């Protein structure tokens, strides 16, 4: 069990690196730095300047840009290594438990699907739906790894009565956060991050320029989606939607963190520390993410800040899901007029 915990911890760290590299690749416009997959201009190593002639003969429509090819291939190397590590986790878990477990199997299937999305990102020339799905897949992978690590390290605890409103608040917070991350991915994939550079919303008269139908249309049939295919008004609509979503996310996720902290004050010391720490992490990451989003506009999308915005979003999702998962492990609140129901272990409250 110790070895699989260590391997999962390594996979978590490696997934964070892959998420950072993926954001860096996307934000440096290197998503098509290699026009083929899994190689790059037919090479498995990073092509250099002296490969330009060979690259031009193979892909005359896309001249070699070595710095973009490097960004793309480094991301692929780390992502490929992560895939092998997760395959190792799956095999080790099967060997130790003598059966296929849900989370390791889900991780393996997801990382295979992520590889397919990475391929389609290139072969479909940055089709926005695929780019957004690739982003969500990476964040989901990190979250599932944290959940699996939690399962491997958790110990039995006393059964507690969790208010129904708190569990519902946690579920809503997770749903809203996933929706906001999807909006952020859609914003990035359609090159709408700087469609509005004013604060707090957009330029005067933006309400009359909304293009909802175009903004959320898939725009099928284009040969290439690099640098976007939507109108300025549609990109502004996407951008404003993401900003409004940010306000809703702060309110909903912040409310959940506050309720979780209040709940922790009613618990025994050992249980209270865990839930209070989770609430603090969710709130800290939420405020940091909101500030990074504002600074993206204020500073006109500086690369380090934009990469950090992706990284913090992934960790905020993981922290929120972990907090909600911790409540799921507890028993349901009793219905009025009935005796409390406790976990199947048969334990009763102290």
* Residues labelled as active-site residues: 72
| Angle separating helix axes 164-189 and 232-264, nearest 10 degrees | 150
Collapsed DSSP state (helix, strand, coil) of residue 230: coil
Give kind and range of the element (H or E) at residue 331. Answer: strand 331-332
Query: Is residue 233 packed enough to be buried (19+ CB in 10 Å), middle (13-18) or exposed (0-12)?
Result: middle
- Per the CB < 8 A criterion, the answer to whether 173 and 219 are in contact is no
Q: Which two tokens stand for residue 55?
A: 């690259």
Closest CA to 257 of 323, 181, 177: 323
The C-alpha atoms of residue 17 and residue 27 are separated, in whole angstroms, by 15
Q: Cis bond leading into 200, ω under 30°?
A: yes
Q: Which one, of 303, 236, 215, 242, lies nearest residue 26 by Cα?
A: 303
Which string of DSSP letters, residue by residue, matches 16-66?
HHHHHHHHHHHHTT-TTSSSSSSSBTTBSSPP-GGGHHHHHHH-TTS---H
- 316: closest CA among 176, 108, 109, 162? 176
Stated as kind and residue range, the H or E segment containing 162 is strand 161-162
The secondary structure element, H or E, covering residue 338 is: none
d(CA 33, CA 21): 14
Cα dist from 153 to 5, 147, 350, whole Å: 8, 10, 24
3-state DSSP call for residue 328?
Answer: helix
């Amino acid at each position: 069990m110790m070895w699989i915990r260590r391997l999962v911890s390594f996979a978590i760290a490696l997934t964070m690196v892959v998420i950072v590299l993926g954001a860096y690749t996307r934000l440096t416009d290197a998503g098509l730095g290699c026009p083929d997959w899994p190689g790059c201009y037919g090479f498995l190593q990073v092509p250099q300047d002296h490969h330009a002639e060979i690259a031009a003969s193979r892909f005359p429509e896309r001249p070699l840009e070595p710095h973009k090819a490097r960004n793309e291939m480094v991301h692929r190397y780390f992502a490929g290594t992560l895939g092998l590590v997760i395959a190792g986790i799956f095999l080790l878990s099967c060997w130790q438990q003598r059966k296929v477990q849900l989370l390791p199997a889900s991780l393996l299937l997801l990382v295979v699907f992520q590889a397919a999305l990475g391929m389609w990102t290139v072969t479909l020339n940055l089709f926005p739906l695929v780019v957004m799905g690739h982003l969500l897949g990476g964040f989901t992978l990190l979250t599932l790894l944290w959940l699996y690590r939690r399962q491997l390290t958790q110990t039995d605890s006393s059964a507690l009565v969790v208010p129904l409103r708190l569990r519902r608040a946690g579920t809503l917070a997770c749903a809203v956060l996933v929706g906001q991350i999807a909006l952020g991915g859609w914003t990035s994939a359609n090159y709408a991050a700087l469609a509005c550079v004013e604060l707090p919303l957009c330029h005067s008269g933006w309400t009359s320029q909304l293009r909802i139908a175009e903004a959320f249309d898939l725009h099928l049939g284009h040969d290439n989606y690099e640098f976007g295919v939507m109108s300025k008004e549609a990109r502004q609509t996407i951008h404003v939607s993401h900003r409004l979503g940010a306000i809703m996310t702060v309110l909903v996720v912040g409310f959940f963190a506050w309720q979780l902290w209040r709940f922790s004050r009613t618990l025994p010391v050992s249980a209270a520390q865990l839930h209070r720490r989770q609430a603090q992490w969710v709130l800290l990451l939420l405020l940091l993410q909101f500030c990074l989003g504002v600074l993206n506009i204020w500073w006109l999308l500086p690369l380090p800040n934009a990469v950090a915005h992706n990284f913090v979003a992934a960790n905020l999702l993981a922290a929120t899901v972990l907090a909600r998962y911790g409540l799921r492990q507890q028993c349901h609140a009793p219905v009025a007029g009935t005796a409390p129901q406790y976990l199947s272990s048969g334990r009763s409250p102290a």
